Structure 1
Amino acid sequence: MSSVHTVCIKSLFRRSLLALPLLAVAGLAGAQPAYPKGPVTLVVPFPPGGSVDMVARAIGKHLGDALGQPFVVDNKPGASGNIGATAVANAKPDGQTLFVSSSGVLTANQFLYKRPGFDSQKNLTPVIRLVNQPNILLVHPSIPVNSVQDLVKLAKSQPGKINIGNAGIGTGQDIAARQFTGAAGLDMLHVPYKGGAPAMNDLLAGQIQAMFETSPTALPYAKERNGKLRAIAITSATRSALVPDLPTVAESGFPGFDSITWIGLTAPAGTPPAIVERLNAELNKALKGEVGRKFAEFSLDPIGGTPQEMAEMIRKDSANYGAILKAAGVEPQ
């Protein structure tokens, strides 16, 4: 073999060795699965019309536009959110099925059911906390109540006879009601529904007399004061800029009262970190942009953050909700 041929072979060998890392990187990049692979299902554990459903549809539209595949809301109500949560917990962990829920489903249901069908800290992977939401205390105009103190006096004069509805046991509305009745020492009949929308329908019809409802649904009644319902307080620590004349529960005779729930996105446990990170990044971007601004118009506070921060919030609220439900004497069913 000539010296020229030897030099050429050595040169080609060196170039091949230098190319190996690049080929490896290209191979790894090519091995990463495309996401999403077709339509993505956003499971909502409540009927259409409530704040969780509204948030799910808003982020679904954004994610569909950003990722090039439709994100379709699938409402699976029942058992205070257990039916929807269990469906997602048992789904294939490929990012094609996701869960949009209120904090109560992820933190309170473990104290409400002996066999809820899922463990939020084991069977679901946090993706992002989307929004915080206060509740607004509404009453039907058929009762002579114009303030929190009016409601307290009425309820104390009729123990066990004033119905206060909620979107389901353990939901944010239920927790707020139990915090309130506990703080005021009231005996009110708590009436659970399969979501905020059916509860609101019965409140409008006068079948129940009072309800803590999420701000997106309750805000029109607080603003319009059209006689259909009467808003008497908001559960946040400070008044809302959207309804500045509506007092807080705290300033209505219950200092320190603060009951804020949140809505978040989770995925089945074992969902690839790359998918979780991509969803998290897209939604953080959305919450800082037009989607976040739209939420703020309904008194929803855009939050965002990391999956780890959401996991910590689930742990913190689980302890808090557990204490509230225990104090209310709620036993797992």
Structure 2
Amino acid sequence: MSSLKAPSTFFHHVAHSMLPQNPNPSFLPATITRRSLRTSPLRCSLAAAAPLSSVIGSQTRVEILSEALPYIQRFRGKTIVVKYGGAAMKSPELQASVVKDLVLLSCVGLRLVVIHGGGPEINAWLGRLGIEPQFLNGLRVTDAATMEIVEMVLVGKVNKSLVSRINGAGGTAVGLSGKDGRLLVPRPAPDSASLGFVGDVASIDPSILHPLLSSGHIPVIASVAADESGQAYNINADTVAGEIAAAMGAEKLILLTDVPGILEDRNDLGTLVKEIDIKGVRKMVEDGKVAGGMIPKVNCCVRSLAQGVRTASIIDGRKSHSLLLELLTGDGAGTMITG
């Protein structure tokens, strides 16, 4: 969500629905794949967004791109940290939508860092091994056997798959975990006696990320890390995203979720809070209007804002192209929290 002037009907009603679900470059119309894609600085953006010409005319396409310009100018060169999880990871269609959004945004100059979870995949693998997943206060109880599965899934499967998808769509992603370059150093969570190898972030060294971002790469980070002795820890991906956003001095933190955002009345989708400051959201938590799984997400956003992140948004990952809606329109795709 942006404080810039709201977009015209072109971008508001058309742009987010124009991006196709099929990432195959062969679907690009001939008029786009020739000279325009070879010479235009927006060539990879157009590739990610094709085939526009099969739906709307040339003049309308130009108008839509023009409407995006103020938002691109605002965020170009800025670091945006995205936590990718929830429904957007479960659906192949939404996976394609997120990947295309990331590629397009990277192509127009945003410096993107992606942190991912992988809860459903971990549960599936545990099930195959006859291990019943256990949770305590929303966190996965992680014994030694479960930690092996967490590492295998997050680092070996989900991370590589996401990197491959981004690269296949024309981006340049690099897969990492918190272990790489000592990006994250964990400490045991306060209730580690019950949770096992679940960690908090003790320290961050983001130096490994700066050259990647400067080269136009998209770091894709699995939320596992190892302490000084080499013991691996499972860290909540929202927490990792918030701490990395703070350490990077990010312009914006975005959490993709399975809900529309923060609701004034949890039983009424029409009460979505579009924008709220730290004081206001803390009051909602105190009044019980924010509860359950939303509390740690809100706390993550508030903590990142307190450390210098400009804005934090909790957006609906079930919405196609929700990242573009949040960053390139005035309406956004969920709730934006400001400092």
Which TM class, normalised by the smaller chain length? under 0.3
Asked which structure has the greater CA Rg, the reply is 1
